[in-house]
Structure 1
Amino acid sequence: MNAQKRLAIFERLAQAIPDPTTELEHSSTFELLIAVILSAQATDKGVNIATRKLFKVANTPQAILDLGLAGLESYIKTIGLYHAKANNVLKCCQQLVELHGGEVPESRAALEALAGVGRKTANVILNTAFGQPTIAVDTHLFRVGNRTKLATGKNVLQVEQRFLSLTPKQFLRDAHHLLILHGRYTCTARSPKCGDCCIADLCEFHDKQLRPVKPPAES
């Protein structure tokens, strides 16, 4: 894929998605961090249902520590792997209190040193909370990158590095959210909506389904 086509793709995505941002509900960087930790192998919708109740009673590291393990689990038990996530959240909050004065650090190294935080989570925080031009590659971005040929790779790190080197500079800050929303609602894993896709003529996916779905046969 050449640079001209890549630029046109991002221009169209930006036009189709005028407000690219996370769908995880939060009112602070700390709330976003906790929501992202909880979102691993879970849907944003499911996380939001849990955190709406949790953040009403505990929206600081110390407040969550005060809940204790059982208290925290009572709010997030509807989320998959909630026990392991609760332990990570409590350890993370303890680190924030002891090492960072209760604030979320702004460096990658400090973020990745927190319990429950890996490269992808750090990228989300650096981009969404601090406006850094990072790209967190999840299943949606991995699929969209390889399917469209915007950024191909055999693993998430390769795809991330390709996106960072090939994405037009003016779109680097919003690229993560443009691509994740496109992957979530249009370029879906099963039955991608190619007929409704704003970049269908630019995408290099060889198995496009551009024709409308046939109505069921009358019985």
Structure 2
Amino acid sequence: MTNQTHSITPDQSERNLLKAERVTLILETLATLYPNPPIPLDHRDTYTLLIAVLLSAQCTDERVNQVTPALWQLADNPYSMSQQSVEDIQAIIRPCGLSPQKSKAILKLSQILVERYDGEVPDTLDALEELPGVGHKTASVVMSQGYGVPAFPVDTHIHRLAQRWGLTNGKNVAQTEKDLKRLFPKERWNDLHLQIIYYGREHCSARGCDGRVCFICRTCYPKRKHPKKTIKP
């Protein structure tokens, strides 16, 4: 990476940065690289976003985007989806993995949206988490990317980078989420969640960086001599 804007002085470049300095570096670097991060999952509205995020569990966004056009042809709203069979839904989403569970969840949550919410996706975290197949991370993504409510969804990739950057102790994704929310300004959460995902894919992937390779890792920890071992959630 070149032409990056950051606030590292010559003195800082010779030592591992303090946590506050790392936070500043991360915010400035990611804002420069990804000033307007797009939502990686193709969707038409909050309902299709919800379904796409549900499908993305243990599946790549790219694969989800390949599958959802056919699913939207079958049904792109809860009223239509609630009338489909589990078998027809599963036949389309099979490439995403976990298709038996996901197809049942899609049908059931669509029926619940029709019966309880007049076909609308609820706009509270608690209500979303009560839907079949919707965990805390999925609900947080819908709140942040669908409704613009500040949230910080943490997946395994963000969990890994947060450990490499010394922002969390890495015990689990719930603790990582709390730590990141405490460190970063609330108004940056929604963009930052996406920015970290894009940075992880392009510069600090599981195999492409071991905590000593990418710009942020090198700058935060110039004295790191050994690969950073991360704790899986």
Please tell me the root mean square deviation across aligned C-alpha atoms, in Å: 2.0
* Structure 2 residue 48 is the aligned partner of structure 1 residue 25: no
Structure-2 change in CA distance of 1:11 and 1:94 (3 Å): same
1:167-217 superposed Cα distances (whole Å, 9 cap, x missing partner): 1344223111011111122111113187884424433383579xxxxxxxx
Q: Counterparts of 2:153 and 2:94 in 1: how far apart (Å)? A: 26
Counterpart in the other structure of 1:84: 101
* Structure 2 residue 92 is the aligned partner of structure 1 residue 65: no
1:109-142 superposed Cα distances (whole Å, 9 cap, x missing partner): 1000000001111111111111122111111100
Asked if 1 retains the 8 angstrom alpha-carbon contact of 2:150 and 2:187, the reply is: no
| SS of corresponding position for 1:202 | helix
1:74 paired residue among 58, 74, 91: 91
- Stretches of structure 2 that go unaligned for 5 or more consecutive residues are 1-17, 228-233
- TM-score, length-normalised on structure 2? 0.83
* Structure 2 residue 169 is the aligned partner of structure 1 residue 146: no
Counterpart in the other structure of 1:185: 202
Counterpart in the other structure of 1:36: 53
Q: Counterparts of 2:45 and 2:134 in 1: how far apart (Å)? A: 17
Asked if 1 retains the 8 angstrom alpha-carbon contact of 2:152 and 2:177, the reply is: yes
Instruction: Find runs of 4+ consecutive structure 1 residues off by over 3 angstroms.
Output: 193-198
Asked if 2 retains the 8 angstrom alpha-carbon contact of 1:151 and 1:166, the reply is: no
Q: Counterparts of 2:213 and 2:187 in 1: how far apart (Å)? A: 25
Q: Counterparts of 2:88 and 2:71 in 1: how far apart (Å)? A: 10
Counterpart in the other structure of 1:125: 142
Range moving further from structure 2, 147-156 or 82-91:
147-156
Identical aligned residues as a percent? 39
**1:153: Cα distance to partner?**
2.7
Counterpart in the other structure of 1:175: 192
* Structure 2 residue 94 is the aligned partner of structure 1 residue 96: no
Counting matched residue pairs gives: 209
Q: Counterparts of 1:161 and 1:92 in 2: how far apart (Å)? A: 28
Q: Counterparts of 1:202 and 1:152 in 2: how far apart (Å)? A: 20
Counterpart in the other structure of 1:213: none
Structure 2 matches for 1:2-21, cutoff 5 A?
Answer: 2-21=19-38
- Stretches of structure 1 that go unaligned for 5 or more consecutive residues are 210-219
Structure-2 change in CA distance of 1:83 and 1:112 (3 Å): same
2:129 paired residue among 112, 122, 129: 112
